[in-house]
Amino acid sequence: MVLDLKQIFDITGEKKSFDYSLDLSDYPFYGTKPFVTPVHIAGDVQNRAGVVNLSYTVQFTLKLACDRCLCEFFRDYEKSFSAVVVRDENTDHDEYAVAPDSMLDMDALAVSDIVLDLPSKQLCSEDCKGLCPVCGKDLNHEICQCQQHEIDPRLKVLGDLLK
């Protein structure tokens, strides 16, 4: 969705609200296409004393694979974002949202904010035990009998000094 903000930039106190859904089911992220629900985006743009402020929230569900145990899980997200909107593209500040010709591409901004805000490591739970490095069993559901105290052969000489 592209927001026409010409009237917002020109009139102090002017406000514009928006509420829509963005389909990202084909958007590649984390090596897959994790967006299982449309991203619901709602917010407003307001001119306060000549400064145009944007604030919005996003809600969506991702289908992910745990980085420790590789099990698939679903996670619901609700995130809030805000930015100052400017017309000039020659700004060096990342906290500004640029609206050239008073047109703001809300879809591109929302996708960028979402991608930058998501954690780089996804875990099914904070206490996920992961996979056994020897046999590959999921330690959240099974107990393996592997020898867990194998010493890296490069460090074996140091282990011999401790004996």
Chain segment 13-53, per-residue pLDDT in tens: 899 999 999 999 999 988 889 999 999 999 999 999 888 99
Which amino acid makes up residue 20? Y
d(CA 117, CA 63): 17
Q: DSSP readout, 134-151?
A: TT--BTTT--------PP
pLDDT at residue 150, rounded to an integer: 65
What is the average per-residue pLDDT within 150-162?
A: 76
pLDDT at residue 87, rounded to an integer: 83
pLDDT at residue 154, rounded to an integer: 83
Chain segment 96-127, per-residue pLDDT in tens: 888 888 899 999 999 999 999 999 899 999 99
pTM: 0.79
Quickly state the pLDDT bin for 11 (edges 50, 70, 90).
Answer: confident
d(CA 48, CA 66): 44
Quickly state the pLDDT bin for 148 (edges 50, 70, 90).
Answer: low
Chain segment 83-103, per-residue pLDDT in tens: 999 887 665 666 788 888 889
d(CA 49, CA 117): 29
Domain ranges of the chain: 2-126, 129-163
